[in-house]
Structure 1
Amino acid sequence: MNLSALPDRYRLILCDLWGCVHDGWRIFPGVPETLAGWKSEGRTVLFVTNAPRSAAAIRGQLDRLGLDPALDDGIVTAGAAGLAAVQGRPVGFCGTPEDRRDLEAGGLIVADAGFSELACAGLAAGETVEDYASRLADWRAADVLVHCLNPDRIVHHQGQLMICAGALADAYEALGGRVIWYGKPYPAIYDHALALGGVTDRSTVLAIGDGLQTDMAGAGSYGIDAIFVSGGIHAGEQPRFPDGWRPIGIVPDLGTLAPART
């Protein structure tokens, strides 16, 4: 299949951000051209991200990176999905001060003590899962229900690997703790994206991402086609896809998918 000329049936494209569009520092080469090509073909393009923040916060980040907002039709975030689930009642919080301010602006009520639920948006810069050993044990002893607002385990940030909320949630589950996961690969975020895109026929949807546990596993379980970006978080690895499912193609980067000029 010529992936630079996608079949016309794909009317809704669900595109991952981190590792595909940018690395937190810059927009990858060729990405604007790819997005512009899809838009010129009349396709709907939604960014679907496991970021634990609001869509407005992610839009602000893309603006700062210089990506033209006319190149997409909206943003779906794991943070918004998780926020909707805990809104209206006080919960504990784990994440950066920036994450907290953004989610509180959206209605998150943070309890610093005595909570039975916790919104986990991530770790502070430089922290490791091991740094949370005592807190994880305390939460488990209190049977705290953790809402994981970012299922990603790691991402590339300015050339560095950064540990995400999913790694902390994994460690908590290993202790027997209860976790509710939001974002890819879980179906709620895809349901929301298809509703936003005005699509009900899953055969018209194409997911694009660089995460095997998130983007590819999510597309496979949801029953939609996908393209795997091999140069992202799994660069240099031999990809292993869900049993009985394969993406329609593998590309090194999103720029490769720019429609061919005629």
Structure 2
Amino acid sequence: MTEIIQSLEDVGPGYRTLFCDLWGCLHDGVKAFPAAVAALEGFRERGGTVALVTNSPRPAGDVARQLDLLGAPRSCWDLIVSSGDAAQEAMQAGVFGRRVYHIGPERDLVFFNDAEGRPLDVTRVPLEEAEGIVCTGLFDDRTETAEDYRATILYGKTKGMKLLCANPDIVVDVGDQRIYCAGAIAKAYQEAGGRAFYFGKPHPPIYALARRKVTALLGEAPRDDEILCIGDGIATDILGAMGEGLDALFIAGGLAAEETGTQEFGVPDPERLAAWLSVERLEPKYTIGMLR
């Protein structure tokens, strides 16, 4: 059974590296959580390494700039690994063709540039001219759902186009508003019979990239029992961690705040948490209300 803890310091000894999610853990899309910042800073002060592992479709450098604007200081992390980074590797390899149709907001156009801001060897074209589809999000995630893309999905599936999903998240909470992400479109694409490919959590590519980056930073590869994954997405963060054989700390006050009683009580209700995890058929090693 998962162990409910009160702070990050309550986890067992031996963890040297954190794979920490962003949305719902470190920030809510509007501002950083001071308690979470302090917890990560404390972990680093005790000699640990913090890798922010996010399903953001943006490259790591752009994620870092976004964190600056949200008030998350660079003192609370060592490196960033994004779904965008992992997805870019596949796109540059030509897996989805050199002419692609992009589904996503204008702010995600950085996905098509390298770390220095130079355009990648891929051309964005209208759907009818595309060899594949790249989905980083919805055009207007404040008002749209995957249902608004029914015609695009059916066209792509009929033409046999592969769809690259740069963010496997189905939904995230921006402040008090829940919005849909690229994962919702990819899920609908698969349900329609199309082929969608994922590069963020819970899928292996982002974890492989995270391990490579941590190894490069530390000069040695971290052992599995030295890594603790932190996240509020049961189907992304926790499922991914368990698939990789890694321990996980579940943030119950994020996406599952209502289901776990955290929204009502400020901390997860043991009975409601156990019942919900039983339905999800997943068991993180630790659970906490919010990262602190």
- On whether the aligned pair clears a TM of 0.5, the verdict is yes
8 Å contact from structure 1 (residues 51, 150) kept in 2: yes
Deviations 1:26-78 (A, max 9, x none): 11231121011101110000100001111111101100112111221111000
Structure 1 equivalent of residue 111 of structure 2: 103
* Correspondence for 1:235 among 257, 261, 283: 257
Alignment counterpart, residue 146 of structure 1, candidates 163, 183, 190:
163
Q: Percent identity between the aligned chains? A: 36
Q: CA deviation at 1:110?
A: 1.6
Is 1:116–1:143's contact at 8 Å kept on the other side of the alignment? Answer: no
Matched, 1:91 2:100: yes
Determine the structure 1 residue equivalent to 2:198.
181
Distance in 2, Cα, partners of 1:149 & 1:52:
5
- What CA RMSD, in Å, does the superposition of the two structures yield over aligned residues? 1.6
Q: CA deviation at 1:118?
A: 1.1
- Normalised by the size of structure 2, how large is the TM-score? 0.83
User: Is residue 2:124 matched to residue 1:116?
Assistant: no
Aligned amino acid, residue 223 of structure 1: G
Which residue does 1:248 correspond to in 2? 285
**Structure 1 CA distance for aligned equivalents of residues 205 and 111 of structure 2:** 19
Q: CA deviation at 1:169?
A: 0.6
Q: Distance in 2 between matches of 1:161 and 1:246?
A: 25
Please give the alpha-carbon distance, in whole angstroms, between the structure 2 residues aligned to 1:68 and 1:8: 26
Amino acid at match of 1:159: D
Deviation of the 1:192 alpha carbon: 1.1
1:128 to 137, 145, 160: 145
Distance in 2, matches of 1:45 and 1:200, equals 12
In the TM superposition, what are the counterparts of 1:44-83 in structure 2 within 5 Å?
A: 44-83=49-88
Give the match's secondary structure for 1:48: strand
Q: CA deviation at 1:109?
A: 3.0
Aligned residue runs from structure 1 range 2-21, under 5 A: 3-21=8-26
Q: What SS does structure 1 have at the residue aligned with 2:240? A: helix
Q: Per-residue CA shift, 1:6-43, capped at 9, x if unaligned?
A: 33311110000001000110112311210111011100
Number of residue-to-residue matches in the alignment: 253
Alignment partner for residue 225 of structure 1, among 247, 253, 261?
A: 247
Any idea what the Cα deviations from partners look like across 1:62-105, whole Å, max 9, x if unmatched?
001121112211110001111110115222111001102x1122
Structure 2 residues without counterparts, runs of 5 or longer: 115-119, 216-220, 261-275
Report how far residue 235 of structure 1 moved: 1.0
Q: How far, CA to CA, are the matches of 1:235 and 1:136 in structure 2?
A: 32
Note the alpha carbon deviations across 1:119-170, whole angstroms, 9 max, x for none.
1101022211111111111111111100110000000012101100111111
Matched, 1:194 2:211: yes
Taking structure 1 as the reference length, what is the TM-score of the superposition? 0.92
Distance (whole Å) between structure 2 residues aligned to residue 160 and residue 150 of structure 1 = 18
Letter in 1 for 2:251: V
Contact 2:201 2:237 (8 Å CA) reproduced: yes
